[in-house]
Copies of this chain bind each other. A is one copy, B any other.
Amino acid sequence: MTLTADTPASTTLDLGSARALSCRECGHQTPLAAEFACPQCFGPLEIAYDFPQVTRESIESGPKSIWRYKDLLPVPADVQSFPNTEPGFTRLIQADRLAAELGVRKLWVKDDTGNPTHSFKDRVVAVALAAARELGFSVLCCPSTGNLANAVAAAAARAGWDSVVLIPSSLEQAKITTTAVYGGTLLAVDGNYDDVNRLATELAAEHEEWAFVNVNVRPYYAEGSKTLGYEVAEQLGWRLPDQIVVPVASGSQLTKVDKGFGEFVKLGLVDEKPYKIFGAQATGCSPVASAFEEGHDFIQPVRPDTIARSLAIGNPADGPYVLDSVRRTGGAVGHVTDEEVVEGIRLLARTEGVFAETAGGVTVATAKKLIEAGKIDPDAETVLLITGDGLKTLDAVSAHARPTATVPSTSKAVREALEGR
């Protein structure tokens, strides 16, 4: 993380303590810019920092959003002076009733449904937007089938930026509405998500003012997920959990939670201690779980077929790094069927009053399976990341979430209905 003396510093950009882009594969460093692939080996670039002195007190006196950690993100010092969605610092709730059902001693749920557009994507998009402004972009863009589209359109609206969101034309009406309402440019593309993604890369190369959050500014964007790790540690009272379960789509989130924990240790904000990171996938799109089980360090792409659409990335870019984090910490990657996903959503809702989208069902159900398999230690403290809202995937549970009974409007009828249960 420390730069060598001859690393070129980007003197004209204010991206906080970010100092350079660094290749995850070969370590080559290159100045901060809108790049995502190493010019030497085409490996993924990530942000290298020279972190300033940061204390618990300085963080605690910050805003109740991800900007309390702005010194640890690739964003300008004045990031809060621009209108933004102010995401983050969502609830971490102690989940005793779910713990009892799962047979573990201590469990926490990080409930990221409280974000402005009700998924963790608000975090990464806010960081991407702040960096994109500094890098000279003026249009916020993404290919997406759901949460990311909502987050980009909302963040751009709030900032007064144009947005260009690309979606497959077959997308359900509800997902179109929840993006289109923000009034940016929403393009329905004839093709599947792979086609839309390819088109995004092409457009990013052609339009120099367009920042595709998960393409040409991806290194900045991805850093936003570190805040999930930071918040868990701070909200636990400035300490790391023993175990954490993270859903895996591209895999970026899991690696960034790991990175966030590591940075807090290095900065002396928490004590160093062993922790295990667990990945959660849907069986219908479980290339990382398969690689983990088979002992591979590469990912065999799959064609996704699962109701957990926000996790349905068949060729996850950060899959190998997920394997690294999980294996290094002694965790595991599990996977669950769509039926188990629905059960996971319902279990979390009825025990803790948190209604998660399908990705949350994946997390809960995978945690259950890993506990039963003895991989998650029931006596150690565990955190589950719930990263999106059940209101976004109502269809997954609508067949199961029915009225207990339909009754005439009399108290006698109610009594009889309840006694008859």
For chain A, residues 88 to 147, give those with C-beta under 8 angstroms from any C-beta of chain B.
89, 91, 93-94, 96-97, 111, 113-118
Instruction: Check B350–A199 contact: CB distance below 8 A.
Output: no
Which one, B188, B389, B394, contacts A174 given CB within 8 A? B394
Tell me how far the C-beta of A160 lies from the nearest C-beta in chain B, rounded to whole angstroms: 6
Instruction: Check A409–B91 contact: CB distance below 8 A.
Output: no
Tell me how far the C-beta of A39 lies from the nearest C-beta in chain B, rounded to whole angstroms: 24
A20 within 8 A of B: no
Task: Note all chain B residues with C-beta closer than 8 A to A85.
Answer: 353
Instruction: Check A199–B403 contact: CB distance below 8 A.
Output: no
Instruction: Check A118–B190 contact: CB distance below 8 A.
Output: no
A178 within 8 A of B: yes
Chain B residue nearest in CB terms to A401: B180
Task: Note all chain B residues with C-beta closer than 8 A to A206.
Answer: 411
Chain B residue nearest in CB terms to A191: B409
Bits for A177-200, please: 1 = Cβ < 8 Å to B, else 0: 111111111111111000110110
Q: Which of A91, A206, A418 has most B Cβ within 10 Å?
A: A91
**What are 27 inter-chain pairs, A to B, with CB distance below 8 A?**
A64-B64, A83-B352, A93-B158, A97-B158, A97-B160, A113-B116, A117-B355, A154-B355, A156-B353, A157-B349, A159-B353, A173-B398, A177-B397, A178-B390, A180-B402, A181-B401, A182-B353, A182-B355, A185-B418, A187-B404, A187-B414, A189-B407, A190-B408, A191-B408, A198-B409, A203-B414, A206-B411
Q: With contacts A155-B353, A178-B355, A181-B349 known, what are 14 further pairs, Cβ within 8 A?
A: A86-B91, A86-B93, A91-B116, A116-B354, A118-B389, A154-B355, A177-B394, A179-B401, A181-B350, A181-B390, A187-B404, A188-B405, A189-B408, A203-B414
Q: Show the binding face of A for B, using Cβ within 8 Å.
A: 64, 83, 85-86, 89, 91, 93-94, 96-97, 111, 113-118, 153-160, 167, 169, 173-174, 176-191, 195-196, 198-199, 202-203, 206, 345-346, 349-355, 389-392, 394, 397-398, 400-411, 414, 417-418
